[in-house]
């Protein structure tokens, strides 16, 4: 879907090529997360230290903090050590925000093409993102680095420069926003259910005890995964999805031509009461049922169909929650009304505020 909205026109586009590029992205997520686990832990602990320093009555701007955390995490894991410099992250975030806001609105309602000023700002921001990525892609070619980043898997694959650039831009744009919003919604939902937060803390304590958080033990956090699945479902994190039809398809008497962009109304399906009892209730326990998890998998939210950006976001959010919930009670601000904004990724209309208190 992002490829179409960005108006990228790669050569080829056959089934074999699309499969290869998908596998390279999946490998990029796996390898970069493994190589940068310590980095994700460090960034999570930096945020924890920041929150621990606040008085218990202080209101914390959740959306702002999660966007900053996601930008730092994604830029370093996807593009490398250049983004250890906070100024580079800020520049990337500014350009990312300009591009994403137009993807989420300007293309969909046609207003971008009607505003020369906005269109130039969008094109300049996208050009800046592409320039940064082209530079990093060239730097990574034919060289070995101790830190494996997402782009390395694309560079080492049998792709041309334009394909590497497109997939890097798409992954960078989507993973930043999906990670930020998944972190935000997960923490927000935890503030609404003391029971869920207590159960998550107990699992984290049982798995890690007083020991370090490690990649091997992270995999044991089954209830945390249920919390994230239910967050995606309840928030309708991605209310609409789309993919190009690789081959000609047919539904009843209707023919779907090859290269047709097929839209999936996930926001409707994720809260269909015939599949999800009490669909508006945040209830991670529903994912105890393997059949429910299988249904979720078929929609592309887990298993082999899971999109690489969401799989990346799941791991980053799991590390963050393990660090935060282990040390903090996360609390709501009384009287706050949360209003939702539905675009390509669901967000809050206004800032969401929380408070935190130490567990010990």
Question: What is the rounded CA–CA span in Å between residue 54 and residue 231?
Answer: 27
- Residue 307 assigned as binding residue: yes
Confirm if 1 and 261 have CB atoms less than 8 A apart: yes
32 Cβ partners below 8 Å, 6+ apart? Answer: 77, 78, 148, 149, 150, 152, 153
- The residue among 185, 183, 191 whose CA lies nearest residue 332 is 191
Token pair, residue 39, equals 């980095």
CA pair distance 227, 186, nearest whole angstrom: 7
Distance CA(37)–CA(53), nearest Å, equals 25
The count of other CB atoms within 10 Å of the CB of residue 37 is 17
Radius of gyration from C-alpha coordinates of the chain:
20
For 293, how many CA atoms within 13 A lie in the half-sphere containing its CB?
Answer: 15
Q: How many CA atoms lie within 13 A of 212 on its CB side?
A: 7
As given in the structure block, the two tokens for residue 68 are: 């900053």
Element spanning 179, H or E:
helix 161-192
DSSP string, 90-156: HHHHHHHHHHHHIIIIIHHHS-GGG-HHHHHHHHHHHHHHHHHHHHHHHHHTT---SS--HHHHHHT
Residue 254 bridge partners (DSSP): 251
In whole angstroms, what is the distance from residue 162 CA to residue 160 CA? Answer: 6
Q: What is the spatial distance between Cα 73 and Cα 68, in angstroms, rounded to a whole number?
A: 9
Q: In sequence order, which residues have a C-beta less than 8 Å from that of residue 255 and are 6 or more positions away?
A: 248, 249
List binding-site positions: 307
Binding site feature residues for heme: 307
């Amino acid at each position: 879907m992002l490829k179409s909205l960005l108006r990228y026109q790669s050569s080829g586009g056959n089934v074999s090529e699309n499969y290869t590029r998908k596998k390279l992205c999946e490998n990029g997520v796996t390898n970069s997360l493994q190589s940068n686990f310590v980095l994700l832990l460090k960034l999570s602990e930096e945020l924890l230290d920041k929150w621990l320093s606040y008085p218990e009555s202080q209101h914390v701007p959740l959306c702002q903090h999660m966007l900053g955390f996601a930008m730092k995490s994604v830029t370093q894991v996807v593009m490398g050590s250049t983004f250890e410099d906070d100024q580079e992250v800020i520049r990337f975030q500014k350009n990312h925000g300009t591009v994403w806001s137009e993807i989420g609105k300007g293309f969909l309602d046609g207003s971008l093409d009607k505003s020369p000023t906005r269109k130039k700002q969008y094109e300049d921001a996208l050009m800046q993102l592409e320039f940064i990525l082209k530079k990093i892609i060239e730097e990574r070619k034919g060289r070995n680095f101790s830190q494996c980043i997402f782009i390395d898997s694309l560079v080492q694959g049998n792709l041309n420069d334009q394909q590497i650039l497109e997939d890097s831009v798409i992954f960078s744009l989507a993973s930043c926003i999906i990670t930020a919003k998944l972190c935000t919604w997960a923490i927000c939902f935890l503030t609404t259910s003391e029971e869920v937060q207590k159960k998550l803390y107990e699992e984290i304590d049982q798995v890690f005890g007083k020991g370090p958080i490690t990649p091997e033990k992270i995999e044991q956090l089954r209830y945390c995964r249920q919390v994230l699945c239910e967050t995606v479902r309840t928030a309708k994190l991605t209310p609409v999805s789309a993919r190009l039809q690789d081959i000609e398809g047919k539904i009843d008497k209707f023919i779907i031509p090859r290269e047709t962009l097929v839209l999936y109304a996930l926001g409707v399906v994720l809260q269909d009461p015939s599949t999800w009892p009490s669909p508006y209730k945040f209830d991670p326990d529903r994912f105890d049922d393997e059949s429910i998890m299988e249904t979720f998998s078929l929609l592309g939210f887990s298993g082999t169909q899971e999109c690489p950006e969401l799989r990346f976001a799941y791991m980053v959010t799991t590390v963050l929650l393990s660090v935060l919930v282990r040390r903090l009670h996360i609390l709501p601000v009384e009287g706050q009304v949360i209003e939702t904004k539905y675009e390509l990724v669901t967000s809050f209309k206004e800032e969401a505020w929380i408070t935190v208190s130490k567990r010990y």
